[in-house]
Amino acid sequence: MRSRALLFTPVLLFTLLLLTLSSSAAELPTASPEDVGMSAEKLARIDDAIQSLVDNGKFAGNVIVVARRGKIVYAKPFGMMDIGAEKPMKMDTIFRIYSMSKPITTVAAMILVEEGKLKLDDPVATYLPEFANLKVYVKDAEPVDPDRPMTVRDLMRHTSGLTYGHSGNTTIDRQYRDAKVLDRDADLATMTKKLGKIPLLYQPGEKWHYSVSVDVLGRVVEVAGGMPLDEFFQKRIFQPLDMKDTGFFVPEEKQDRFAANYGPGPGGLKVIDDSKNSLYLTNPKMFSGGGGLTSTARDYTRFCQMILGGGQLDGTRLLREETVKNMTQNQLPDDVMPIALGEQRDGFGFGLGFSVVVKRSEWDPPAVVGESGWGGAASTHFWISHKHDLLVVALQQHMPYRRTVENTVKPLVYDAVVE
């Protein structure tokens, strides 16, 4: 007897997917791709591409969200959030977002800029007196005075002269390690006091160098905002945007949704941070605005939509439109570009908290001019195309960082844009 099977067209599959995700993906409105100028058939190619990466052991699992014109057109989990426990990835899985914390911290600082409590070109020492006597490293010589003060703008665009302590400079890196600069058991005030005693690696403004700059910015927010960074985030960003699962640790009632973090192991993946005994299950003293947050695809999509919406979401305004435009435009002079992190990122500059594509290049061929975004150490990533009114959030948990998912998804998403 011939069995009857339902013929699933791309549009029907998409409709069923949205119905399935309506209670867990995000409260942003949903739409069929065709309603916002995209092809459902082409977007559906993401399914096989990402599933293939999971099946081949590149990642344990992923969550991908695509939104255009303020509406979600694709949202899907893949693989496992915990292989050993046989827990499938879900839309509400909680991830370590590491450096995707940086844009959030920069938004917090820009809120204070708009309120007149902070100025971009003020010396950092205006808010952190421990930075008043900073020196600059000179090889085989005594440290010298900076040519100009480090500014708040320098912190946001990574031209401060600070580092992460793994720059390849034996002298400065050793001092960072010895001081335990990012000690989870010490607060931000303690961190900046330590940094105030270590020479800068470069003159402020001399070079784009990825660093603890945004962690220092988090302390500036505490001082100018008059409250601890976690409290500022909750009151001024997370609650207004309904980012209900974002914070510096995963509370007990949410720990069942926390993904394991993986790295390469013999013959496949190995757990490098178990979700059941992770440091992220306890509230730290160090509120790392540079890399300490956990979040979900739903929450971070809402944050990105606020940026894409010119500083507002669902009638709630965090920033003025001109402020967001300034943040997502290149702020680096020509002689400091392109940025380099592990490798030179041709065509990429940096705004205030976001990377910015300034020209097409072979480093990221599908990227479009004006695109902004950033990633996190566990291979999380987001990007926003203001030209296309489009955002993509791609989350997984794998260290060291891999661009595999971004490189796979980005050309498929842009190819799906038909108008």
pLDDT per position as a tens digit, 93-147: 999 999 999 999 999 999 999 999 999 999 999 999 999 999 999 999 999 999 9
* Statement to judge: residues 323 and 347 lie in one domain: yes
Burial 148-164 (b: 16+ CB within 10 A, else e): ebbbbbbbbbbbbbbbb
Using pLDDT thresholds of 50, 70 and 90, give the confidence band for residue 6. very low
Kindly state whether residues 115 and 181 are assigned to the same domain: yes
| pLDDT at position 10 over 60 | no
Percent of the chain with pLDDT over 70: 94
Q: How confident is the model at residue 322 (pLDDT cuts 50, 70, 90)?
A: very high
Q: What is the overall mean pLDDT for the chain?
A: 94
Do 109 and 224 share a structural domain?
yes
Which residues on neighbouring strands pair with residue 219, listed in sequence order? none
253 pLDDT higher than 60:
yes
* Mean pLDDT, rounded, for 387-398: 98
**Alpha helix locations (H) across 91-187?**
101-114, 152-157, 170-179
pLDDT for the residue 148 = 98
Contact criterion met (CB below 8 Å) for 332 and 157:
yes
pLDDT tens for residues 330-388?
Answer: 999 999 999 999 899 999 999 999 999 999 999 999 999 999 999 999 999 999 999 99
CB 222 within 8 A of CB 228: yes
**Inside any domain, residue 242:** no
Please state the rounded mean pLDDT for residues 8-24.
Answer: 43
Same-domain status, 253 and 388: yes
What count of residues does the chain have?
419
The total domain count for the chain is 2
The region that residue 379 occupies, defined by phi over 0 for left and psi between -120 and 50 for alpha, beta otherwise, is left
pLDDT of res. 267: 87
Does the pLDDT at position 217 exceed 60? yes
* pLDDT confidence bin for 2, thresholds 50/70/90: very low
Q: Are residues 314 and 370 in the same domain?
A: yes
Number of helices and strands in the chain (H, E): 13, 16
**Distance between CA atoms of residues 39 and 211, nearest Å:** 40
Asked if 273 and 397 sit in the same domain, the reply is yes
**349 inside domain:** yes
Do 264 and 389 lie in one domain? The reply is: yes
- DSSP secondary-structure letter at 34? G
Range of the domain at 257: 26-94+249-283+293-415
pTM: predicted TM-score of the whole model, two decimal places: 0.93
Kindly state the average pLDDT of the residues 25-52.
Answer: 93
Examine the domain organization and report whether 260 and 399 are in the same domain: yes
- Answer whether residue 4 shows pLDDT above 90: no
CATH code: domain of residue 390 = 3.40.710.10
Please tell me whether residues 319 and 193 are part of one structural domain: no
The pLDDT of residue 27 is 84
Say how many CA atoms lie within 13 Å of 289 toward its Cβ.
32
pLDDT at 153 over 80: yes
